[in-house]
């Protein structure tokens, strides 16, 4: 937050919140956006939510951005050169009620189901199997 001018914070305080950090629980709010960080994206997938994001190349791996927007179809990128109110509003409206909205929501639900299946309670999902394999490999390598 140190990089933001006090005038900007004062002018926008009644219209929204800019936070330097927030708990992952806050990302469940319907109006949350993302910087394409991995933990944020996991939260969006778990909640089967679509989102608008700003790709920040110093923080985010490009593959996360490419997959969520282009391959998975659950994200929309806001051009981060100059962020304008009209551009953000247009993307949010498209996300909430536009032509792509229903398809993106359907894909978000599909990804949620895949994520749940990979971590199922019977430990038969791919994440559970891979984690157990890693633990077994580490334990066996101590031999």
Residue with tokens 């140190």: 2
- pTM (two decimals): 0.63
Overall average pLDDT of the 102-130 stretch = 86
Q: Which domains does the chain have, with CATH numbers?
A: 22-114 (3.40.50.2000)
What does the pLDDT look like over 11-22, one tens digit per residue?
777 877 777 776
73 sits in the region (left: phi over 0; alpha: psi -120 to 50; else beta) called left
Q: 24-28, 117-121, 122-126: which range is least confident on average?
A: 24-28
d(CA 6, CA 79): 24
Q: Facing residues of 34 across strands?
A: 53
Mean pLDDT, the chain, integer: 78
Residues 122 and 21: their CA atoms lie apart, in Å, by 34
Q: If you count them, how many residues does the chain have? A: 143
Per the CB < 8 A criterion, the answer to whether 111 and 74 are in contact is yes
Residue 110 above 60 pLDDT?
yes
pLDDT on residue 1: 54
Q: Which helix (H) or strand (E) holds 53?
A: strand 51-53
Q: 33-90, pLDDT tens digit by residue?
A: 777 777 777 777 877 777 777 766 665 666 677 778 888 888 888 776 667 888 888 8
SS3 state at 75? strand
104, 45 contact by CB (below 8 A):
no
Is 91's pLDDT higher than 80? yes
Closest CA to 70 of 30, 36, 31, 96: 36
Number of C-beta neighbours around residue 125 at 10 A: 17
């Amino acid at each position: 937050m140190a990089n933001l001018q006090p005038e900007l914070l004062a002018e926008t305080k009644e219209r929204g919140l800019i936070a330097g950090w927030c708990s992952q629980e806050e990302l469940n709010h319907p109006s949350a956006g993302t910087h394409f960080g991995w933990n944020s994206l996991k939260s969006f997938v778990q909640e089967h939510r679509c989102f608008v994001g700003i790709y920040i190349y110093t923080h985010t791996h490009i593959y996360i951005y490419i997959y969520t927007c282009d391959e998975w179809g659950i994200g929309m990128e806001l051009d981060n050169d100059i962020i304008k109110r009209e551009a953000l509003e247009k993307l949010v409206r498209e996300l909430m009620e536009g032509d792509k909205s229903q398809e993106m929501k359907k894909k978000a639900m599909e990804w949620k189901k895949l994520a749940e299946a990979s971590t199922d309670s019977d430990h038969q999902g791919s994440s559970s199997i891979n984690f157990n394999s890693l633990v077994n490999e580490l334990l066996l390598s101590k031999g």
